[in-house]
């Protein structure tokens, strides 16, 4: 029996301790989900809606407790985790609307009777949660899956097991039937063991490398639907802008929010050569120096907290140093924050113009600047990535936006707003190494059920008249 724990990255204190699920326990969880599937899928739409509404009420009642737990496990500032809990609650109502709009039923009269479109659930869905939004992101898979009639086996991030446990308790308080929602705790080995079980869907939020592994793993299992919400080496282009101070705020929220631990964070800032670009970079550098980082319960509230662990911070700094060693110029160095754990990392800015750097995201508040000569060059540079999650343009000229939105390859593309802005009532996802063309958020309903098209006649009729070439 393997014992593991979650650690407050700001203090090193243990937040939760428990045991990893054994292979036998994982198999039992999948078997319970399988046993519960038929009866759950057969329930009426309203019954399933009522169940997730009870879950929503449990989330609301325990919101402060869960927000505190997320802050303790991830180090995120309380203003962020409070917002996360509000998004989790709002996801229920959004998912109900999406279910009806995107996977409802439709009937059309025909000469022989009717043509009917229905949607059916897949079966048992494995949900693997990430650490950066350990409540909101798995919640965004689980709620639509339950509405569709799927049953769920949920493995929370090993960095945030308490958050997963509290979510499971909310589902229990919602009085869902036995086996509809199951939780298995543990790390990578537990996740791998879960995916070796006979599942019907994998819903995952995490790295591009993990997503590629899952594609390969299930290449010979086409019945297993994959919903992969992956990372991105996201570009933010700034062009033809007068107010550089306004630009700096947008860049800061794009690159440095959540200490750079959002898959939609801007990793690459693309600006004009010359004075215009210099002014933008100087303004971004200045605001980066004003951002405050501190433990989640500090007063006043900080802008951000630590990275998820000291190890993650070490890996991020090593990746940054690798780019510097390759020739990148240092605009703002990565600094440790005096008096705080080594998991804290202040914003860093480097100039990678003309430098061959890896096409990989650094999951930290580290921004890479590229200078280009023309707007077309800026779009080309933005698209020079195997990822395609989010992108943004900041410009005073709407003609630039008209061209940008037509040429940029990304699933979330914002204009004069941070790259991290996304709405729950719109799709969220990317292409290339950022996903598999199955966006989440409002479109999660699409991968939680499959369409069934039917021709139906109310009685058996002789159709010989429809058969050409039939001897009389």
Please tell me whether residues 211 and 239 are part of one structural domain. no
Name the domain count of the chain: 2
Predicted pLDDT at 404: 98
Predicted pLDDT at 207: 87
Please tell me whether residues 290 and 157 are part of one structural domain. no
> What's the chain's average pLDDT?
95
Residue located via tokens 């999948």: 30
Please tell me whether residues 249 and 207 are part of one structural domain. no
pTM of the model: 0.94
Rg (CA), the chain: 24
Residue 440, token pair as written in the block: 């989440």
Please tell me whether residues 176 and 191 are part of one structural domain. yes
Please tell me whether residues 220 and 147 are part of one structural domain. yes
Q: C-alpha distances in angstroms, 359 versus 27, 259, 271, 323, 364?
A: 38, 20, 18, 11, 15
**pLDDT tens digits for 160-180?**
999 999 999 999 999 999 999
Kind and range of the H or E run holding 153: strand 151-155
| Model confidence at 428: pLDDT above 80 | yes
CA–CA gap between residue 94 and residue 377 (Å, rounded): 39
Task: Please check whether residue 423 lies inside any domain of the structure.
Answer: no
Task: Please check whether residue 253 lies inside any domain of the structure.
Answer: yes
The answer to whether 250 and 416 are in contact (CB under 8 A) is yes
Q: CB within 8 A of 83, min separation 6: which ones? A: none
Please tell me whether residues 332 and 396 are part of one structural domain. yes
Residue range of the domain that includes 149: 3-230+435-456
Helix (H, G, I), strand (E, B), or coil: what is residue 435? strand
Q: How confident is the model at residue 1 (pLDDT cuts 50, 70, 90)?
A: confident
**pLDDT tens digits for 6-56?**
999 999 999 999 999 999 999 999 999 999 999 999 999 999 999 999 999
Q: C-alpha distances in angstroms, 294 versus 297, 300, 343, 416, 472?
A: 8, 9, 11, 29, 88
Predicted pLDDT at 313: 96
Q: How confident is the model at residue 208 (pLDDT cuts 50, 70, 90)?
A: confident
102-125 average pLDDT score = 92
| Model confidence at 105: pLDDT above 90 | no
CA–CA gap between residue 445 and residue 452 (Å, rounded): 15
Please tell me whether residues 405 and 441 are part of one structural domain. no
Task: Please check whether residue 180 lies inside any domain of the structure.
Answer: yes
Query: Known catalytic residue: 170?
Result: no
DSSP 330-343: EEE---PPTTS-TT
CA–CA gap between residue 97 and residue 426 (Å, rounded): 12
Please tell me whether residues 101 and 249 are part of one structural domain. no
Predicted pLDDT at 472: 79
Helices (H), 104-124: none
Query: Known catalytic residue: 263?
Result: yes
Q: Which of 229, 265, 361, 448 is catalytic?
A: 229
Predicted pLDDT at 139: 96
Q: How confident is the model at residue 104 (pLDDT cuts 50, 70, 90)?
A: confident
Task: Please check whether residue 421 lies inside any domain of the structure.
Answer: no
140-166 average pLDDT score = 97
Please tell me whether residues 218 and 270 are part of one structural domain. no
Q: How confident is the model at residue 426 (pLDDT cuts 50, 70, 90)?
A: confident
The answer to whether 337 and 313 are in contact (CB under 8 A) is no
Could you tell me which residues are beta bridge partners of residue 16?
Answer: 6
Backbone angles phi, psi at 386, to 5 degrees: -85, -5
The answer to whether 149 and 40 are in contact (CB under 8 A) is yes
| Model confidence at 394: pLDDT above 80 | yes
CATH number, domain of 57, equals 3.40.605.10
Task: Please check whether residue 426 lies inside any domain of the structure.
Answer: no
CA–CA gap between residue 418 and residue 367 (Å, rounded): 14
Please tell me whether residues 250 and 217 are part of one structural domain. no
Q: Which of 263, 265, 361, 448 is catalytic?
A: 263
Q: C-alpha distances in angstroms, 248 versus 258, 263, 286, 329?
A: 17, 20, 8, 20
Please tell me whether residues 121 and 178 are part of one structural domain. yes
CATH number, domain of 292, equals 3.40.309.10
349-360 average pLDDT score = 97
């Amino acid at each position: 029996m393997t014992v593991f724990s979650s650690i407050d990255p700001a203090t090193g204190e243990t937040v939760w301790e428990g045991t990893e699920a054994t292979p036998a326990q994982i198999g039992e969880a999948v078997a319970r989900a399988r046993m519960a599937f038929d009866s759950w899928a057969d329930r009426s739409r309203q019954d399933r809606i009522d169940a997730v509404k009870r879950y929503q009420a449990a989330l609301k009642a325990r919101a402060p407790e869960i927000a505190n737990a997320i802050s303790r496990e991830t180090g995120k500032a309380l203003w962020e985790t409070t917002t996360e809990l509000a998004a989790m609650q709002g996801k229920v109502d959004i998912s109900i609307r999406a279910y009806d709009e995107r996977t409802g039923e439709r009937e059309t009269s025909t000469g022989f009777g009717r043509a009917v479109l229905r949607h059916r659930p897949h079966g048992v869905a494995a949900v693997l949660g990430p650490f950066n939004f350990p409540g909101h992101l798995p919640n965004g898979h689980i709620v639509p899956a339950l509405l569709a009639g799927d049953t769920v086996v949920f493995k929370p991030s090993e960095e945030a097991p308490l958050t997963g446990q509290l979510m499971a308790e909310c589902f229990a308080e919602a009085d869902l039937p036995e086996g509809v929602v199951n939780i298995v705790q543990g790390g990578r080995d537990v996740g791998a063991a879960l995916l070796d079980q006979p599942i019907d869907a994998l819903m995952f939020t995490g790295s591009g490398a993990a997503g590629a592994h899952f594609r390969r793993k299930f290449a010979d299992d086409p019945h297993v639907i994959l919903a992969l919400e992956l990372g991105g080496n996201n570009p933010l282009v700034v062009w033809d802008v007068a107010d550089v101070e306004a630009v700096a705020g947008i860049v800061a929220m794009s690159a440095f929010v959540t200490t750079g631990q959002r898959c939609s964070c801007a990793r690459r800032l693309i600006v004009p050569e010359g004075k215009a670009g210099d002014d933008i970079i100087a303004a971004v550098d200045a605001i980066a120096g004003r951002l405050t980082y501190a433990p989640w319960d500090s007063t006043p509230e900080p802008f951000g907290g630590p990275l998820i662990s000291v190890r993650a911070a070490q890996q991020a700094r090593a990746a940054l140093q690798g780019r510097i060693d390759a020739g990148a110029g240092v605009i703002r160095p990565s600094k440790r924050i005096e008096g705080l754990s080594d998991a804290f990392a202040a914003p860093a800015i480097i100039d990678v113009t003309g430098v061959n750097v890896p096409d990989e995201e650094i999951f930290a508040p580290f921004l890479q600047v590229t200078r280009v000569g023309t707007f077309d060059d800026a779009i080309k540079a933005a698209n020079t990535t195997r990822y395609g999650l989010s992108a943004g343009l900041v410009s005073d000229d709407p003609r630039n936006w008209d061209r940008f939105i037509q040429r940029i390859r990304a699933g979330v593309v914002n204009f004069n707003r941070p790259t991290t802005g996304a709405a729950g009532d719109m799709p969220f996802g990317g292409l290339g190494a950022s996903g598999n063309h199955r966006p989440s958020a409002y479109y999660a309903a699409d991968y939680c059920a499959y369409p069934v098209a039917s021709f139906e006649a109310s009685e058996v009729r002789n159709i010989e008249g429809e058969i050409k070439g039939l001897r009389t």
